[in-house]
């Protein structure tokens, strides 16, 4: 792969990887306002896992379109500016006449967040998605109706050459009964080529099941690559070619908001690069491209991207147009 954790990265937005369509990556899902409650006060930032992923991918240099819902209010306009200034194209029909959704994050003394949500989620009717190298979805949008059913329909109708990635990003307070949520998640896993869970996601969806068994189960549903992130302990990546542990990094944590989204963005960018090198998505979708060496490169790069984000307040991935010399060193 061309992306390595110590390499010079000089791509401009929209030029990295295999840009085979106006947008190499399409992200479908919620954009909202994060209201962050700290002991010293309250701040607001544009947020939402899919929006964060789209921005992270764009800052890594790929062309990205975000299909979402934003209100025609002040919060929506701030989020729209943030999205577009980061190089993401906002899909037409994404601005609607309703309040912008919110997620209130209450931070504990470690910077970890507990969320409360006020979210509406639907989608403008589409016959099918535009051509793309990768389509990503996840989080609240993957579970909340009526938009979730539309996402499943669109993913089921994607071309075989399109790589689908999914991050459930479980928000238990919104999901109701565990078995039903697991069924929804597994239907999407079955439509996906790459699935990423956090350790908390894995433990909520599959209580008392080892991470190794969870990874095996996910891959049995169809994905070529299954990943579990483990916070400060890094991540585990598993494919038919092998399993790799990507160690964590030592950083000073501002907060954990957006860490998993930055990790996911780095995985998506690495896949776009991998497809560019292979000149085909087949070896990615069938898993043969995911050798232990490639998994190590993907995991190491993604852990370092996440480490940058946790060292900064809010979901604020770095713009990768300069040397990576300021990346955290390995613990």
Q: What is the mean pLDDT of each run of 10 residues along the chain (331 residues)?
A: 32 36 84 87 90 94 95 95 94 91 82 80 88 95 94 93 95 89 97 97 97 98 97 93 88 62 94 88 93 96 83 50 40 32
Say what the pLDDT of residue 313 is.
53
Rounded Cα distance between 105 and 259, Å, is 14
Say what the pLDDT of residue 278 is.
81
Say what the pLDDT of residue 22 is.
56
Say what the pLDDT of residue 19 is.
38
CA-based nearest residue to 138, from 113, 117, 155: 155
Rounded Cα distance between 293 and 242, Å, is 10
Rounded Cα distance between 169 and 229, Å, is 11
Spell out the residues 6+ positions from residue 270 whose beta carbon is closer than 8 angstroms to its own: 1, 3, 297, 298, 301, 302
Say what the pLDDT of residue 170 is.
93
Say what the pLDDT of residue 114 is.
78
Say what the pLDDT of residue 10 is.
29
Rounded Cα distance between 326 and 5, Å, is 11
Say what the pLDDT of residue 258 is.
65
How would you classify residue 253: left for phi > 0, otherwise alpha for psi between -120 and 50, otherwise beta?
beta
Say what the pLDDT of residue 224 is.
97
What DSSP element (H or E) covers 154?
helix 147-156
Cα-based angle 313, 319, 322 (whole degrees, multiple of 5): 125
CA-based nearest residue to 317, from 142, 88, 90, 101: 88
Return the residue matching tokens 């969320």.
115
pTM equals 0.85
Say what the pLDDT of residue 257 is.
62
């Amino acid at each position: 792969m061309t992306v390595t954790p110590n390499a010079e990265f000089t791509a401009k937005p929209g030029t990295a990887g295999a840009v085979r369509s106006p947008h190499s990556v399409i992200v479908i899902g919620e954009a909202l306002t994060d209201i962050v409650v700290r002991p010293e006060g309250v701040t607001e930032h544009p947020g939402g896992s899919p929006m964060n992923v789209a921005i992270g991918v764009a800052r890594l240099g790929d062309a990205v379109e975000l299909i979402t819902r934003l209100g025609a209010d002040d919060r929506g306009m701030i989020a729209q500016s943030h999205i577009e200034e980061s190089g993401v194209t906002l899909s037409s029909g994404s601005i609607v006449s309703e309040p912008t959704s919110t997620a209130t994050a209450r931070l504990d003394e470690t910077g970890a967040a507990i969320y409360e949500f006020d979210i509406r989620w639907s989608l403008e009717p589409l016959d099918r998605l535009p051509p793309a190298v990768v389509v990503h979805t996840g989080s609240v949008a993957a579970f909340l109706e009526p938009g979730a059913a539309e996402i499943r329909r669109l993913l089921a109708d994607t071309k075989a050459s399109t790589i689908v990635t999914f991050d459930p990003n479980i928000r238990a307070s919104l999901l109701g009964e565990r078995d039903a949520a697991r069924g929804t998640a597994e239907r999407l896993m079955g439509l996906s080529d790459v699935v990423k869970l956090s350790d908390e996601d894995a433990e909520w969806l599959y209580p008392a099941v080892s991470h190794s068994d969870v990874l095996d189960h996910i891959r049995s549903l169809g994905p070529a690559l299954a990943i579990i992130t483990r916070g400060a302990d890094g991540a585990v990546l598993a494919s038919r070619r092998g399993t790799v542990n990507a160690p964590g990094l030592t950083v000073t944590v501002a907060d954990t908001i957006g860490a998993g989204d930055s990790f996911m963005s780095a995985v998506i960018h690495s896949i776009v690069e991998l497809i560019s090198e292979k000149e085909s998505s087949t070896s990615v979708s069938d898993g043969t491209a995911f050798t232990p060496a490639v998994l190590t490169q993907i995991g190491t790069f993604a852990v370092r991207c996440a480490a940058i984000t946790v060292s900064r307040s809010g979901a604020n991935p770095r713009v990768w147009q300069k040397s990576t010399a300021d990346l955290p060193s390995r613990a």
